[in-house]
Structure 1
């Protein structure tokens, strides 16, 4: 068999001969190995992207996280390629949704050293999908969110003509008022960071796995808001189980968390606006205006 670059990367990082390959979404392939396993081989979307994802998966899947959400094992990473387990797909179920909600609450409770902290070994200049994302430690969430998750993308949007100066002023007001809009302070959580429905993988083993992280230390309401953004299956069951687990662990969600959903969705909407334009520009502005009405 004539191997592609992905196939050669799979062999290099697993030490096992590749016997087949099929392309899947984006710059990723499933490579079959001679020992019967299959691995996913992904080309990083830019400098340090593969290493950032590998660091995030390892951090989210650290040993000792009993009850957390499973993530694929990292078999190897280099400047271009990431090789991870292939997790066969299954169908959503109430049981899996509720186990996922409980596991996500347990993951968030494992904490992080600071807001904006990168996973151990992860780069400061990381990625969320095809967009750059800076992970830089901060003492408080409002400062981190303004400096690293809102302002850079608003500036990019203004520079590219997506936002007028008047519209940019709405985002500036959100950043100025973040200390009062953010709700009660709480410690940094270990976040997946890009938990939209496409990265919530319903597997054949009856569990929900998290894939494609943009992991960092952040506010747990951010992951929950991301789950809502594009409509994850059985979301009421996921969120209900999350709330029960958090309550039982002595870390209930703070009052007003439902009203703060637009604030936490502002970051991914801004990312989509600068990447794709179109309706995301208006959605980002609407989220900012909604955040100000809290």
Structure 2
């Protein structure tokens, strides 16, 4: 049986971008299981149907190890789209830039945080004073304050718990916003919206690929992107959370 997602009037290449991201993540040997695509068209995508089970500690550990392997498969640059894909990219239903960049901070500030600030202000989620705080932290990020020499990781890009399905054969990933980025960004997304047995996931990840010292303190930095996206479309509570994360990031410098 298949699971079919349909959207009349979907943006150009919306479902094709999803299929490209899934294929890019799925090609990693030893990475997490990624949902299979059976057919894609401008208004729909047909996926394998996943039978979900209860989360457990062993599956969480296996997922953590596999996620580190997927990240280690790498990408050509920060902001690189999936290999072979030159169309638009999306997070949820929102289009976002994906232009290959040599420095992580410049990519993250200019392509993952700032593009959503104008829409968040227009939506009433950020005040003028609020957005100035976020721009201030973006200036620091773009200047390289948090660049660490880590090479671009192959990211899922929208790794909240709803896109992590627990199945009998292990975790299955769905709905990526795949691109080259910093590995800590996927982990911060898991933390932001909660993930069952997250401590097991992180411990297994760290055993497979040791995380840099201070990664936990940098979680607010890597949550700026999803919070900005949500502030643009899901209300003022996310705008407030974005400003808190920006202030916590400023305090790291």
Where on the TM-score scale, by shorter chain, does this alignment land: which range? over 0.9
Q: Distance in 2 between matches of 1:136 and 1:39?
A: 33
Q: Which one of 15, 22, 27 corresponds to residue 57 of structure 1?
A: 22
Partner of 1:75, secondary structure, is strand
Q: Distance in 1 between matches of 2:171 and 2:124?
A: 40
Q: How many aligned residue pairs are there? A: 249
- State the partner residue of 1:203: 167
Q: Distance in 1 between matches of 2:84 and 2:118?
A: 29
Taking structure 2 as the reference length, the TM-score comes to 0.94
- State the partner residue of 1:47: 12
- State the partner residue of 1:224: 187
Cα shift at 1:76: 1.6
Cα shift at 1:124: 4.5
Q: Distance in 2 between matches of 1:134 and 1:118?
A: 9
1:170 aligns with 2:137: no
1:231-270 residue pairs with structure 2 within 5 A?
Answer: 231-246=194-209, 252-270=210-228
Deviates more, 1:113-122 or 1:172-181: 172-181
Structure 2: runs of 5+ lacking an equivalent: none
Moved over 6 A (4+): none
User: Using CA pairs below 8 Å that are at least 6 residues apart, which structure has the higher relative contact order?
Assistant: 2
- State the partner residue of 1:276: 234
Cα shift at 1:111: 0.3
Q: Deviations over 1:40-79 (max 9, x none)?
A: 11125532210111000000001xx332101011112121
Q: Distance in 2 between matches of 1:172 and 1:133?
A: 18
Structure 1: runs of 5+ lacking an equivalent: 1-37, 247-251
Q: Larger Cα Rg: Structure 1 or Structure 2?
A: 1
1:119 aligns with 2:82: yes
The alignment's C-alpha RMSD in Å is 1.4
